Chains A and B, each alone.
Chain A
């Protein structure tokens, strides 16, 4: 996105938007594209007063630009009010291809980095599932399902958690009173609570937005958010972007397209042809995350154990893992 912007050298505004952001608040540079595109024409119509100011470019040069071209930080920031509406005309969906997952945990790590989460805080969890004793176990990446009928939203007494037009379920942690009813009502255990204070909550460099969930706040709930800040920038969520196996497809149901970054496919065809299903369909929550069954697996399950000792311990109750341990293979 940065490259695209700087390439268009004839467009002053774009360029200086970049400049302004980087010289002012360096960390936020990523979030502007989509929202700004729509505003460009209007803003460019504004009269130019001719007043000039000096700014520092990313590569250390001092340049003079018109004052009007300066991008002030809040433009990158999606306010809570905007965040409640969602991105127009989109219906985001995710498809997770269980046949390809080998528990590389890159999705977890990228998500943690992107959301400034600690080691044990995971919006995306990879669970080891064994449906029955005969069936072979498989790795099951589990984000928030952003249900069509989210029980968490129904039970929230203050409207702190909400469902947007673009399918995403978000939390406004400035509204959340921490009653934890949403946590108990989510059948997928997707939500986490900030039990104590952490230093990172004090980092006010970035203004809070429900779209980034940063900075997090003590005594409130957080969860996987489908990374709307990246979506606005025309990028894939952290998990989909970082998966080396292309397990996670993400896209728009309206356009009937999903992509894992390498291949782009029709959503409906993918679900029809590959037997796509939703987890715990019988609960009637209508998730927006679909799974492709773990058939014709591309990797032996054991490869998934090439991870931290601590994480392997999580799966100790799965019969298959107990079997492996008995045989001394783990």
Chain B
């Protein structure tokens, strides 16, 4: 027993992250809070003056908000998927990234649906969704799927945290505020790391990891259906669900790489998050980039080839008004990451992160091009004289709220990193034990 207790102490590296908040971090947090406050102001303006303050009008009734919604839920979905796979197959290099992935999953799953709320004209009637639900509506399916997914992800994330909370509780040297100790004690749920508890926890985590993969697929499929079940020329596509899933994975892996890079740089965790992890993630990104490119091609090529009238109208808009956006999203956003990741000598940490940034930005633009141009080219061409009814341009309010969404993602990420070890310390202890056993066996 005493041996176990001895080992259940956190590495010094993490102790400093958990114990102190340096000035640079305080400035970072303050600027994030500022961005969120601006967003809050924009939100108040939107509530007071109605959706008139946005760039949305009768033809383009969904704008940047819904794009952010799909984007964040996509990241979350892919986080759940990847984390599930890491745990389910007990991947050797999961330690370095699994916590980052799990945090990304839950944070984006909280922030995503906030954007859909911004899109709703009567927030005061939100409870009508539960008072007068109609099961026929894909929105109802979406609510059920996302809520289930959210609960599932929370449970899963919590399960993976329990051993760490126990260590944080037991480590007497850890110098943090007494309330935090209390919280750790409460959250650890009397976990003592006995073999029996370990076995149970492992079993539940494994089951949950399989379940959240399934839930994430369902949730993102239903989300894709919000578009593909309508009759709109650009949306009514049978490949939308798998296309969205691949696209979500693509952006998700991109965000994971960016977060890995930021955490490694900022907390100097070079020893834990190593090049091999970036190369691993980079190769996955490469495969996804090719798949995503393939799906994008499969989506647009038949439209162009069969040239139905309304498809042609849509493609005309895409290649005139949105020419550069289309090039950036669907050429640069696919080809540049592929080029970087394909050649071994480009597979450095910086290059891989650059490819990830391009992938994420390209994918956001791709979502924009799926939502907006379609709404701008309805079956009956828009005949209107008011420019804002013909062409959608997001207002500063929408951008401020989008920035606030990204800022709150970063803020909560930063705060969580300060609250729990970003690398699951319990797993490190365990793998250290395992390797020690191996060494012992060899010696014998």
Contacts and interface: CB of A to CB of B under 8 A. Distances in A.
Interface string A296-330: 00000000000000110111010000000000000
A195 B51 contact: yes
B441 interface: no
Interface in A146-174: 151, 154-160
A195 B389 CA distance: 12
A180 B61 contact: yes
A314 B382 CA distance: 8
Contacts of A160: 128, 132
Contacts of A176: 121-122, 125
B136 A177 contact: no
A74 to B, nearest CB: 24
Interface in B94-112: none
Interface residues of B, number: 45
Contacts of A283: 231, 379
B52 A195 contact: yes
B317 interface: no
Interface in B212-243: 226, 229-232
A157 B144 CA distance: 12
Nearest to B230: A185
Interface string B132-149: 111011111001000000
B232 A157 contact: no
A128 B129 CA distance: 39
A54 interface: no
Given A183-B58, A184-B375, A196-B49, A155 B121 contact: no
Interface in B380-403: 380-386
A21 B58 CA distance: 37
A113 interface: no
Contacts of B277: none
B50 A187 contact: no
Contacts of A183: 58, 61
A189 B380 contact: yes
A276 interface: no
B162 interface: no
Contact of A196 (B51, B59, B143): B51
Contacts of B129: 157-158, 177
B384 A314 contact: yes
A196 to B, nearest CB: 3
A154 B136 contact: yes
Contacts of B49: 196-197
A218 interface: yes
Contacts of A158: 125, 128-129, 131-134
B382 A157 contact: no
A142 B383 CA distance: 12
A177 B121 CA distance: 6
A17 to B, nearest CB: 35
B50 A197 contact: yes
A157 B139 CA distance: 6
A128 B231 contact: no
B30 interface: no
Nearest to B378: A189
Contacts of A189: 58-59, 378-380, 382
A70 B384 CA distance: 48
Given A187-B232, A187-B378, 11 more contacts: A157-B129, A157-B143, A160-B128, A177-B128, A178-B51, A185-B231, A187-B231, A187-B379, A192-B58, A219-B121, A314-B384
Interface of A: 120, 125, 127-128, 142, 151, 154-160, 175-181, 183-185, 187-189, 191-197, 218-220, 280, 283, 285, 310-311, 313-315, 317
16 contacts: A127-B381, A155-B139, A157-B137, A157-B139, A158-B125, A158-B129, A158-B133, A178-B125, A179-B119, A185-B232, A189-B382, A196-B52, A220-B122, A283-B231, A311-B385, A317-B381
